[in-house]
Amino acid sequence: MNMIIKSLIKLIIVLGFRTFTWGLITANFTNNNLMGGLLLSAIIPLNDYKNLKLKAIIPSILKILLIPMQMTKETVELIRMSKPRDKFVYQMKSVEAMQGSKIAKFLDVLLITITPMTLVTGEDNNRWRIHTLESGGQQHD
């Protein structure tokens, strides 16, 4: 019975995450759109969610809650930036991603790429290669 409950919780988390991602992609959190996203989430093959380790994704899910604040911060920075220049930086992968969790890798990339100023362009051992922008000079009015 305990195994069934764990499997059900994992299924609900996967469907919830997919539906939430659908809402973010469509930028529409109306009931009709979320119901369509839930239907789409259920149709897409679930892979082997029974092997999904909750302790591997819970830290990433908590980071997702901070996305709106980070998006707002980077949007304001981007608006205020004069003469933006490309810059490549490296960021350590999450511990879970380094241990081989595919969903943790996906969440790492999602958390970095969903904000306006950063994009994951590759990986180097235990680090993500990230393209970002920096201010290239002072703005003259």
Q: pTM for the complete prediction?
A: 0.56
CB 50 within 8 A of CB 9: no
List, for residues 15-71, the tens digit of each pLDDT value: 898 898 888 888 888 999 999 989 988 887 666 555 666 776 677 778 778 888 888
Per-residue model confidence (pLDDT) at position 42? 85
Per-residue model confidence (pLDDT) at position 90? 95
Classified as helix, coil or strand, 124 is strand
List, for residues 106-133, the tens digit of each pLDDT value: 878 888 888 888 889 999 889 999 999 8
List, for residues 78-92, the tens digit of each pLDDT value: 888 888 899 999 999
Structure tokens at 92: 């350590």
Whether the predicted pLDDT of 141 surpasses 50: no
CB 71 within 8 A of CB 27: no
Structure tokens at 128: 């993500």
Beta carbons within 8 Å of 115's beta carbon, 6+ residues apart = 67, 70, 71, 74
Per-residue model confidence (pLDDT) at position 138? 56
Per-residue model confidence (pLDDT) at position 46? 67
